[in-house]
Structure 1
Amino acid sequence: MHTGMSTTEIFLIAMFVIFTLPYLIWRVGKTDYYAPLVVVQIITGILLGPGVLGAIFPDYYKFVFNPQVIQSLNGIAWWAVMIFVMVAGIELDLKKAWEHRRESTITAGLALGMPLLFGCVAGMGLLTMDGWMGPKAMSWQFVLGVGMACAVTALPILILLMEKLEILRQPIGQRILRYASLDDIAIWGVLAIILLDWTRVGRQVGFLLLFAITTYLFRKLMVWLQERDRWYVGLIWLAACSFAADWAGLHYMVGAFLAGAVMDAHWFNQEKMDLMRHHVLLAIMPVFFLSTGLRTNWAMGGVAVFVAAGVLLVASVAGKLIGIQVAGKILKWEKGEASIIGWLLQTKALIMIIFVNILLDKNIITSETFTALLLMAIASTMLTVPVVYPKLQKMKELIFRSK
């Protein structure tokens, strides 16, 4: 009965499902307190994937998500996440971090280092069992990749959650952004190390040299341009950097981050920047969430994947909270301050999902590991607001403290 439908028609059915189902769950179920729309979209993507919808209704799954439709969806997803990562790079505020460098480096270092250590231990545990490490990975790449996935803070989602909590523009929100910004740079640096390909080292060195030269010229051009032209030229720059990075073997997402990181936030109106991020999340990022869900795999068994996800969640949350508590002791923060900051910084979601998508693309992890990490990211993000909101209500004066 489906033979008369064209690929375009089936693609539009898939788009209808992608945008309708998560919205209805979010709006009718009133999940916003525990699960913002982006989290519901990720969960829906998993439910629409091969492990759930594909297992229950295999014929309909194969009909809607056939190879041609998936190829079309993947193209949209790639561009969506490239824009999103570029905006995240633009929003890095390293000048503020430098002004408060002692506090920022101590906090960011412990916030990243402790969960990285805990995550690496969990990764070594997975390494002892078959089916978790990707076919092209070396042991150190797998362990470091899992460890960094546990250490990631999702800067864009953190911004959305702090907006919800009404602390983004307050001193505590700006402090947390400084810590997360430094960790964001470290994440992409570690990813570049993991992806280092000695067979392409010449290309990679050449890319970095060419990027340094063109960045100088690009920045001169952007200062000269009017703001309305900067957005358009920025997208051209994004495509060029992403292509060059992927050609060099570093993955196009590394290029997308670098494309944004060398742009200054003050080149753009902050309100327009916020709207850009909002519209990307609204209009095209749901396609990325769906394509991510389609990559989940439960072949090892649901119990094993959920147990692994639980272990990774404990490593991630405990590592982040312990690291921030140590930073709080060193910097003599008030009682309860470290707990609030730690719970906010353990937010995962988008950046971690992007990170593990890259690891899966490069066959460093298997789809089972990818699924466990994805579940961990969802649980981590869903914990944030319910835990932090009551704590903020008890410490309202903390919101207005600058340091």
Structure 2
Amino acid sequence: MKILVYGINYAPELTGIGKYTAEMAATLAGYGHDVRIVCAPPYYPQWEIGPDYSAWRYGREVRDGVRLWRTPLWVPRRPRGVRRLLHLASFAVTSLPVVLAHTFWRPDVVMCIAPSLLNAPGAWLVARLCRAHAWIHIQDYEVDAAFQLGILNGSRLKRTALWIERMLLRRFDTVSTISNKMLERAADKGVALTRLVHFPNWVDVTAIHPLGRTSTLRDTLGIPEGAIVVLYSGNMGAKQGLEVLATTAVQLVDRSDIVFVFCGNGPMRSVIHAICGPLKNCRFSDLRPKEELNELMNLADIHVLPQLGDAADLVMPSKLTGMFASGRPVIAMARPGTELYDAVAPRGVVAEPGDAQSLAASIERLAQDPEARDRLGRKGREFAEDVLSRDAVLSEFSKMLCSRVPVGARREIDTYGKTPALAKSVDDVAADADTVTTR
């Protein structure tokens, strides 16, 4: 089957949506599907274009058996409000000609990854032009989150944005998202139940697993022997609620046996560092390279997942899968009735969102109870192996794709499709691109 995936984020981004889109595409290609990607150059979570990539040039590459078209975008240093919208719009505009050119390739499925919803009209149009299945996969409800977290404001703007979102979602043949609560929200937005699909995030349980020894990163970060490491790893953005974790570190500064490690990048890192960076119980690190990811996840004696209450069911934190797979216990901030609470409560500790005292108390209790840490860590690992494994999730997703695209509507897989002369025009769109590289 020919599958065109259209989304702003992609590998080599180490965290967030790009990581999952890349793993999905590579796995589908391994199953024998012909997969193509239209995406931006890597920029997340540092919010700056990665080395060896350009913000202003079109480019092509081959990565893990998948052909990629990279298109320009503008990356603001402070991605808030109008600047964030302009950032997303820049990619939607520059990528539209490339996506439209893929009409000649005649994909069987056109999948839009949201965020960004601004890509959705182009994805839907291409699907209709070549009579393909139009699929949108929602990782975050960006419109709801933007207004609830104060990134955007204004009642008229909110009504307009939500109306456009509802109109777009109802036009796709399939709408998938990563949690059951998010599926319920899609239904509330008017998407027919027959079009809704649960497509959760996953974890490679062979790549992230209990080490059975002390992580080498303890020495790298100067962590005293015997200290309990409380780790946050991932994007440092507005919706993560990291100010609460920083305040918790301040409250526990006199506990010499507890060390907080903040690993990641993002627009809130400087704010968090200003609160607790100079403290003796805090360490800051950039994201580690992929080959050190398992060392990083095993650095934790306790993983912590701060989360703003207002965003609890708008996003399902993707980092949770790796936390469980590491076999280390998790403390998450969530309210009863939310999917995050339901995922963590049976195999971890749950604290009240936004309450630094509640988080501090939970950390202290778990820090002094090694048996509880071992028990919860084992439960999280078992959950990752049984429910969240990459092979299980993506194998089911591939079957789901095939079941939703009628056999008679699929075209055979080959390099250029049934009409090589027409399909080759897709490549011409990026004629000024850098040379093709294989990664």
Give TM class, smaller chain: under 0.3
TM-score, length of structure 2 as denominator length: 0.25
Report the structure, 1 or 2, having the larger helix content: 1
The structure with more radius of gyration: 2
Report the structure, 1 or 2, having the larger strand content: 2
